[in-house]
Chains A and B, each alone.
Chain A
């Protein structure tokens, strides 16, 4: 399907279909969010979206559809990019994350992030996990820190493999282990939300399966937002799925619903593999 003109597109996606807004148990709420680069390039158009507590929301869509950009709004990572302007309201637990009362440092301690490519720091496994707690002064003494490291690694399913080599550099682990180390690093500061930006795209299928399993376990304690290229992955792990197209949120609904009975033709074309 060819898209000739953005005017047509705006008409076609005049309103997000499905159920973008939730009645209760909302953790993150977006209202009329627009994101601009260089003042004139718009990356996100009027997104309204609620993310529920203890849910996994998968954001899917073709490359360049703005899903990663939106994800990076949730912990204000876009602040690090110059000329990136975020417009509209984003609330975390009912508080505007762009308000002066919220400090980005505190926000990020509360909203963890896992990246596309595993990026363990060039330090030991222990120091990687202890990075956040040390940074924020979360522990009083070493034994507390040891506990946090063990707990986080256990939760990330990495404790058994690494308990004997905590002093070895984190960069020496395999790709899948590195990504789990990054997850352990993120949950060591006990955030409420974990953002994952295509966390398995650099991994082999076996490592991917392990991570997906881990996500399902983590769901009970955290709200997870995951950007993924793989529709199968979205279908396997998420509770709700949002489909993005050229910066617009086209459709969001229960995952089962999206994949079996999409309401919008663009969504249907994408999940049936006609483009993307």
Chain B
């Protein structure tokens, strides 16, 4: 019996419980002495359904989450060979055993008797667990219904109880946000601590040599110092700077023009078109950067190079543009961020009250003087907040850099060279087959921790600035 089937039966039970309790309430209403009910009969029905469904559901989900781990732990404890082995070996062996279980025990597909024994054990435990689960869930469901049925009386405050439960459900939903953040911290923190117990934070942040691939051989970890992430941070910063150089003026000036100059007709057409840019998935930008902009730039570089050679212009003669240049990735990322800055700035500029514009124009200033001397300073905090959010987005952007920037960790200030970024390395380190506990994998979590903390600080700072700005003009 799968969880889905159990769930279906529970839901059917809840529907039955709803009608049963509702009818009970209706029968009081229809009785000779015309008992006055505290709530509408519906609410008695809801109460019955909740009592039938909720406790059983909680037990079902809890059980399903932990049963796998408990069974594994039980099996491991039964075999000395398993309990003695280290974590990464263990997970490999367990995986293999599970594959045997899934493919069915009848087929003798393993030549090791040990695996089969373990598989048999797992299957036995699983069936016991399933039996216990089904029994307890349905027992709880029936008990819940009986409780509800006995509990209700005409004076019973069914509506209050139901609404209270509903509010708890709403609160629980709101708590998912906290849980998510906790989950993020949980997922990156422990692995990062494990990583930093082997590599010092100082070496990680300021080390300039990044080559996690070599570090597979454990004797080389400390000696080569292959986990100096500084080039990655620098690559991220370099690409973000290029992106902001493109996006900030374009987005801001476009926003000002649309908000202050453009006629409503033009604004209503142009703004949605530019917002299309914000809706284009990043993988599309990555493809565009890697296949069109990158080669275009390197081609242009070659042209300039030839030109420089033939006319002896030193600046061009030494020009080499990598087809995975930071410039190409940064440019395309800038265009991706541009509409983001545009709409944030537009919001902020529109929030500046018209009375300030009138005041300035009545003093005899031109439109651009009003914009630069009154509107812009007034909107500045909000614009800065928007820029910070944009920077945070640039730092966290993955697909464009993964597809268009390189993977080699170069420490260079030349935007025509190829650099790599934090997000690129996270993807490279965590995709493909590798054991989960190797230092190489752990380093990805340390990078993710750095990424999360940096963007968290930027986001909170930006959100506070924007919020305070909004309050000022509300």
Query: Which A positions have Cβ atoms within 8 angstroms of B?
Result: 75, 77, 80, 82, 104-109, 112-113, 115, 117, 119-123, 131-132, 135-136, 182, 185-186, 189
Q: Which residue of A lies closest to B378 (CB)?
A: A122
User: Is B362 located at the chain interface by the 8 A CB criterion?
Assistant: yes
Q: Which residue of B lies closest to A131 (CB)?
A: B363
A132 to B364, Cβ gap below 8 A?
yes
Given contacts A121-B374, A123-B377, A135-B369, contact A112 B356 (CB under 8 A): no
A119 to B356, Cβ gap below 8 A?
yes
Q: How far is the CA of A77 from the CA of B354 in the complex (A)?
A: 13
A117 to B378, Cβ gap below 8 A?
no
B365 to A112, Cβ gap below 8 A?
no
User: Is B310 located at the chain interface by the 8 A CB criterion?
Assistant: no
B373 to A112, Cβ gap below 8 A?
no
Q: Which residue of A lies closest to B356 (CB)?
A: A119
When distances are taken between beta carbons in the complex, the residues of chain A under 8 Å from B249 are: none
Between-chain CB contacts (< 8 Å), 16 pairs = A77-B358, A80-B358, A105-B365, A105-B366, A106-B364, A107-B364, A112-B362, A113-B358, A115-B359, A119-B358, A121-B356, A131-B373, A132-B363, A132-B364, A182-B359, A185-B359
Query: Which B positions have Cβ atoms within 8 angstroms of A?
Result: 263, 353, 355-366, 369, 373-374, 377-378
Q: How far is the CA of A108 from the CA of B373 in the complex (A)?
A: 17
A121 to B362, Cβ gap below 8 A?
no
A121 to B378, Cβ gap below 8 A?
yes
Q: Which of A113, A117, A120, A136 contacts B362 (CB 8 A)?
A: A113
- Distance between B132 CB and nearest chain A CB, rounded to angstroms: 68
Given contacts A115-B358, A119-B358, A121-B360, contact A135 B378 (CB under 8 A): no
Q: How far is the CA of A104 from the CA of B369 in the complex (A)?
A: 14
Given contact pairs A113-B362, A115-B362, enumerate 17 new A-B contacts (beta carbons under 8 Å): A77-B358, A80-B357, A80-B361, A105-B364, A108-B363, A113-B358, A115-B358, A115-B359, A117-B355, A119-B359, A121-B356, A121-B373, A122-B356, A122-B377, A135-B364, A135-B365, A135-B373
Classify the secondary structure of A's interface with B: helix
Q: How far is the CA of A160 from the CA of B217 in the complex (A)?
A: 79
Q: Which of B353, B364, B374 contacts A108 (CB 8 A)?
A: B364
Q: How far is the CA of A122 from the CA of B378 in the complex (A)?
A: 6
Q: How far is the CA of A186 from the CA of B357 in the complex (A)?
A: 14
When distances are taken between beta carbons in the complex, the residues of chain A under 8 Å from B373 are: 121, 131, 135
Q: Which residue of B lies closest to A188 (CB)?
A: B363
Q: Which of B355, B357, B358, B363 contacts A112 (CB 8 A)?
A: B363
A115 to B361, Cβ gap below 8 A?
no
When distances are taken between beta carbons in the complex, the residues of chain B under 8 Å from A106 are: 364
Q: How far is the CA of A132 from the CA of B361 in the complex (A)?
A: 10
When distances are taken between beta carbons in the complex, the residues of chain B under 8 Å from A182 are: 359
Classify the secondary structure of B's interface with A: helix
Q: Which residue of A lies closest to B263 (CB)?
A: A82
When distances are taken between beta carbons in the complex, the residues of chain B under 8 Å from A109 are: 363-364
Q: How far is the CA of A73 from the CA of B358 in the complex (A)?
A: 14
Given contacts A119-B355, A121-B356, A135-B369, contact A75 B374 (CB under 8 A): no
- Distance between B359 CB and nearest chain A CB, rounded to angstroms: 4
- Distance between A126 CB and nearest chain B CB, rounded to angstroms: 14
When distances are taken between beta carbons in the complex, the residues of chain A under 8 Å from B377 are: 121-123
- Distance between B125 CB and nearest chain A CB, rounded to angstroms: 70
When distances are taken between beta carbons in the complex, the residues of chain B under 8 Å from A186 are: 362-363
Q: Which residue of A lies closest to B374 (CB)?
A: A121
Q: Which residue of B lies closest to A106 (CB)?
A: B364
When distances are taken between beta carbons in the complex, the residues of chain B under 8 Å from A136 are: 364
When distances are taken between beta carbons in the complex, the residues of chain B under 8 Å from A131 are: 360, 363, 373
Q: How far is the CA of A112 from the CA of B377 in the complex (A)?
A: 23
- Distance between A85 CB and nearest chain B CB, rounded to angstroms: 17
Q: Which of B355, B361, B363, B378 contacts A185 (CB 8 A)?
A: B363
Q: How far is the CA of A75 from the CA of B355 in the complex (A)?
A: 16
When distances are taken between beta carbons in the complex, the residues of chain B under 8 Å from A185 are: 359, 363
B363 to A77, Cβ gap below 8 A?
no
- Distance between B14 CB and nearest chain A CB, rounded to angstroms: 59
Q: Which residue of A lies closest to B358 (CB)?
A: A115
- Distance between B351 CB and nearest chain A CB, rounded to angstroms: 12
Q: Which residue of A lies closest to B363 (CB)?
A: A132
B364 to A77, Cβ gap below 8 A?
no
- Distance between B364 CB and nearest chain A CB, rounded to angstroms: 4
Q: Which of B356, B359, B361, B373 has the most CB of A within 10 A?
A: B359
A77 to B361, Cβ gap below 8 A?
yes
Given contacts A117-B355, A119-B356, A121-B356, contact A108 B362 (CB under 8 A): yes
- Distance between A179 CB and nearest chain B CB, rounded to angstroms: 12
Q: How far is the CA of A206 from the CA of B364 in the complex (A)?
A: 31
When distances are taken between beta carbons in the complex, the residues of chain B under 8 Å from A115 are: 355, 358-359, 362
When distances are taken between beta carbons in the complex, the residues of chain A under 8 Å from B369 are: 135
Q: How far is the CA of A82 from the CA of B364 in the complex (A)?
A: 18
- Distance between B469 CB and nearest chain A CB, rounded to angstroms: 11
Q: How far is the CA of A113 from the CA of B263 in the complex (A)?
A: 26
A189 to B359, Cβ gap below 8 A?
no
- Distance between A73 CB and nearest chain B CB, rounded to angstroms: 13
When distances are taken between beta carbons in the complex, the residues of chain A under 8 Å from B378 are: 121-122
